[in-house]
Amino acid sequence: MMLIPCPWCGPRNEIEFHYGGQADVHYPSDPRSTSDEDWAHFLFFRDNPKGVFTERWSHAAGCRRWFTVHRDTVTNEIHPDDSASAARTVTR
CB-wise, 1 or 26, nearer to other proteins?
1
CB-wise, 15 or 40, nearer to other proteins?
15
CB-wise, 16 or 72, nearer to other proteins?
16
For the chain, the straight-line distance linking the first and the last C-alpha, in angstroms and rounded, comes to: 30
Query: How many Å apart are CA 68 and CA 81, to the nearest integer?
Result: 6
* Piece in contact with other proteins (CB under 8 A), picked from 8-16, 31-39, 44-52, 73-81: 8-16
86 forms part of the interface with other proteins (CB under 8 A): no
Q: How large is the greatest C-alpha to C-alpha distance in the chain, in angstroms?
A: 44
Q: Interaction with other proteins in 47-66: which residues (CB under 8 A)?
A: 61-65
Query: Cβ atoms within 10 A of the Cβ of 53, count?
Result: 18
- Identity of the amino acid at 70: H
Strand, coil or helix: 11: strand
88 forms part of the interface with other proteins (CB under 8 A): yes
